[in-house]
Chain A
């Protein structure tokens, strides 16, 4: 006992005080907000629904990080750019022209499917190219090398697409059919948010089935566990890794279109923040599993949306919405302190790292 007390250093005490302070501040803020009650029930529901919509986007992007980390133990920082490249290209080459000729509003469902497929295809193409050219040759290099390469690839694609489509913000065309609200169980929800949530859930289920049930999905899991033994089974390891990148990128490409529907704009830098957030979500949920990534995304999205109003306004902080990133990353730090393996899933830094 004595020894344990002695081993607690001054810094530890400061850190624990700091953690306690954060938790006290969160509770205090929450209680104060509830007593002052500046928002109506509808406001809270709006926050919540927006959080779920945003969170499902994070979940879709997080899957790409999760899949690649699962198979290569590498954090693919260029994943946000896979997300951006698809939606940016689809906006410039498909959505805008379809809007101009009136096809987008004449056949909105068909048009959106075409736009999404193009975005997914472009994202997959960029991912396959990056994997082949920048990552595969470094497969046997020390762990830090592919990480730095990934950061390099991220910048490369950002400025490549900036050069291609310009540095300005492009508006994603408005889809008339998705204007306005939908009333579900007495709650008014923006139609775009409904589309985002439903599409994300369907894509997550599809991906889960792909990974768990199909032969290729089993091969991905086999390669993730042991590349040599997988090769002995006749599994082409390089091809399987490429498929994994492409699968994650396809999800990111679809997420890009959903993002554009929600926020109605695209630009060359749009992948950076969602990329970092989705990576946060993947770590939050536990980076080893599909449900983990999905849950982490949802959690982060809801916290970001509800958190500022709930935790901060009671403390007398105005314009709290601007501090949503503070909430998001404080969440990450807290989760990592108390549950390093994430909500569900395995530790980042054991044997594998």
Chain B
């Protein structure tokens, strides 16, 4: 049974048919990436999986359980966490308060403390700035915070929406290293990226999304060698 299964999902924004029958699955322990151009429906797919947007048709399963009857905030209790688009840190809250919010649903104080130390060792910068208001952090630091905050939920499935967006190239490498590290520690990851080059390097498998439909699905290595992908997403002629 896959950890996450999206089965023939149709979703709308008002009258716009944003997702036209998406199906994908993510196995336990994998990094799966979803690549595509702007407006292809990548963020919509993540919003649908995380319960922020209800699909008009089709289903989403987490470890075999239909998620239709859960609200977005209940899915955290099922082991799902998300690094939202544009980082989405609470800019008026301090770094420490943001991390507290990541662990909002948990009551195991010792575990939370343990995870706090873990994310601080992963991102030492955040430890230095723990009492600073998040809005004053740099873009890279905010991305670290958004990732660290999601890890504070101790998720089994981590959804990441464009973690590399707006970051300097040197920071992008750091973020992808972190993604691999998190994955090695046992977290399954669904990674949405515009930076197909980096995404296909860290992922095991990938899906290519085009105007609300999945047009290609393969292992990351094969996608990297696919001429269509090379031309459209990797900039190789």
* A pairs with B: yes
Q: Which residues of A contact B (CB under 8 A)?
A: 215, 218-219, 221-222, 225-226, 228-237
Known: A215-B100, A228-B84, A231-B52. A221 touches B90 (CB 8 A): yes
Distance between B122 CB and nearest chain A CB, rounded to angstroms: 19
Known: A232-B81, A233-B153. A215 touches B104 (CB 8 A): yes
Of B33-41, B71-79, B174-182, B183-191, the segment with at least 4 beta carbons within 8 Å of chain A is B71-79
* Complex partner residue of A234 from B76, B88, B93, B97, CB under 8 angstroms: B76
Give Cα distance in the complex from A234 to B50, angstroms: 11
* Complex partner residue of A232 from B82, B91, B92, CB under 8 angstroms: B82
Judging by beta carbons under 8 Å apart, are B101 and A222 in contact? yes
What are the residues of chain A within 8 A of B153 when measuring CB–CB? Answer: 233-234
Judging by beta carbons under 8 Å apart, are A232 and B104 in contact? no
* Complex partner residue of B101 from A235, A236, A237, CB under 8 angstroms: A235
Judging by beta carbons under 8 Å apart, are B52 and A232 in contact? yes
Give Cα distance in the complex from A169 to B29, angstroms: 70
Distance between B18 CB and nearest chain A CB, rounded to angstroms: 16
Q: List 14 A-B contacts (CB under 8 A).
A: A215-B104, A218-B101, A222-B93, A225-B90, A226-B88, A229-B90, A231-B71, A231-B72, A232-B81, A232-B82, A233-B104, A235-B73, A235-B104, A236-B73
Distance between B85 CB and nearest chain A CB, rounded to angstroms: 10
Distance between A179 CB and nearest chain B CB, rounded to angstroms: 46
Which residues of B84-112 are within 8 A (CB) of A? Answer: 84, 88, 90-93, 97, 100-102, 104-105
Judging by beta carbons under 8 Å apart, are A218 and B72 in contact? no
Judging by beta carbons under 8 Å apart, are A229 and B104 in contact? no
* Complex partner residue of B76 from A215, A222, A232, A237, CB under 8 angstroms: A232
Task: Please indicate which of the listed interface residues A222, A225, A233 has the most CB atoms of chain B within 10 Å of its own CB.
Answer: A233
What are the residues of chain A within 8 A of B104 when measuring CB–CB? Answer: 215, 219, 233-235
Distance between B209 CB and nearest chain A CB, rounded to angstroms: 21
What are the residues of chain B within 8 A of A228 when measuring CB–CB? Answer: 52, 72, 84, 88
Known: A232-B50, A232-B72, A234-B77. A222 touches B105 (CB 8 A): no
Judging by beta carbons under 8 Å apart, are A219 and B88 in contact? no
* Complex partner residue of B100 from A218, A230, A237, CB under 8 angstroms: A218
Closest to B74 in A: A234
Give Cα distance in the complex from A222 to B101, angstroms: 8
What are the residues of chain A within 8 A of B73 when measuring CB–CB? Answer: 230-237
Give Cα distance in the complex from A111 to B102, angstroms: 43
What are the residues of chain A within 8 A of B93 when measuring CB–CB? Answer: 218, 221-222, 225
What are the residues of chain B within 8 A of A226 when measuring CB–CB? Answer: 88, 90
Known: A234-B105, A236-B73. A229 touches B97 (CB 8 A): no
Give Cα distance in the complex from A229 to B89, angstroms: 8
What are the residues of chain A within 8 A of B72 when measuring CB–CB? Answer: 228, 231-232
What are the residues of chain B within 8 A of A237 when measuring CB–CB? Answer: 73
Closest to A217 in B: B97
Distance between A74 CB and nearest chain B CB, rounded to angstroms: 19
Judging by beta carbons under 8 Å apart, are B92 and A233 in contact? no
Give Cα distance in the complex from A270 to B196, angstroms: 64
Give Cα distance in the complex from A50 to B14, angstroms: 55
Give Cα distance in the complex from A89 to B80, angstroms: 46
Give Cα distance in the complex from A225 to B87, angstroms: 13
Closest to A225 in B: B90
Q: How would residues 108 to 150 of chain B score, 1 for a CB under 8 Å from any chain A CB and 0 otherwise?
A: 0000000000000000000000000000000000000000010
What are the residues of chain A within 8 A of B50 when measuring CB–CB? Answer: 232
